[in-house]
Amino acid sequence: MLEDIMKESSFYDYALEEGIQQGIKRIAHDAVMERFPDVSPDVLTRIDALTVVDTLRQIALKAATLPDLAALSALIDSAQTS
């Protein structure tokens, strides 16, 4: 019964979305750090500031093919201005 109440509550939806967002951020961090071991903490902070799950997903998916940190920065910038 409690499970049914939780699934129907807005709190459950919020908690689920937050969990997904945090998980994708962690994956984006890992992908960026794998591709660019010398990435600055400032870049990771900029990724942390992103809140759109699809944007974070794109960073995670594209990190391995980005040619350099400038391309990563441009990807983050484009996400922040959209």
Task: Report the distance separating Cα 53 and Cα 82, nearest Å.
Answer: 13
Residue 23, token pair as written in the block = 């998980």
Domain boundaries, the chain: 2-81
Task: Report the distance separating Cα 70 and Cα 22, nearest Å.
Answer: 24
Secondary structure letter of residue 68 according to DSSP: S
> pLDDT, tens digit, for every residue of 15-62?
788 888 899 999 999 999 999 999 999 999 999 999 888 899 999 999
The structure's pTM equals: 0.78
> pLDDT, tens digit, for every residue of 61-74?
999 999 999 999 99
